[in-house]
Amino acid sequence: MEVGTAREGAVVRTKQWSLGIYISEDDRETRAHAVLFSGGDEHTAGDGRARRNPVDPEVAEIGDELAVARALADLAGRLHGTADEDIARLTEGRAEPPKAW
């Protein structure tokens, strides 16, 4: 979704992306799949896993939190890589711009 408004002669656009997080677990591990929907059929996804040490107590929320955090970190890395590729493609043949992060 994109909304446009005028501000001193400029158009300001607001975009909305959606994030879906899917968690599954069995006796051995918790898996998370994070999908970022950025409009139309475009999406980027990341995956994460967590396994409990057999000597630790069973606390399902901890496995969920770790698996989701790892899926989001994976998603962030993939999104960052896509941005780097887009920048490289747009600046091909020119000096590389400094990294902002």
DSSP 63-93: HHHHHHHHHHHHHHHHHHHHHHHHHHHHTTT
Q: Specify the pLDDT at position 4.
A: 56
Q: What is the pLDDT of residues 4-41, one digit of tens each?
A: 555 577 888 898 999 999 999 998 899 999 999 998 88
Does residue 44 lie in a domain region? yes
Does residue 95 lie in a domain region? no
pLDDT > 90: what percent of the chain?
56
Its pTM stands at: 0.77
Does residue 74 lie in a domain region? yes
Does residue 54 lie in a domain region? yes
Query: How many structural domains are present in the chain?
Result: 1
Does residue 49 lie in a domain region? yes
Q: Specify the pLDDT at position 98.
A: 61
Q: What is the pLDDT of residues 44-56, one digit of tens each?
A: 999 999 998 888 8
Range of the domain at 61: 2-90
Q: Specify the pLDDT at position 24.
A: 97
Does residue 41 lie in a domain region? yes
The CATH number linked to 57 is 3.30.160.240
DSSP state string for 9-57: TEEEEEE--EEEEEEEE-SSEEEEEEEEEEETTEEEEEEEEEE--TTS-
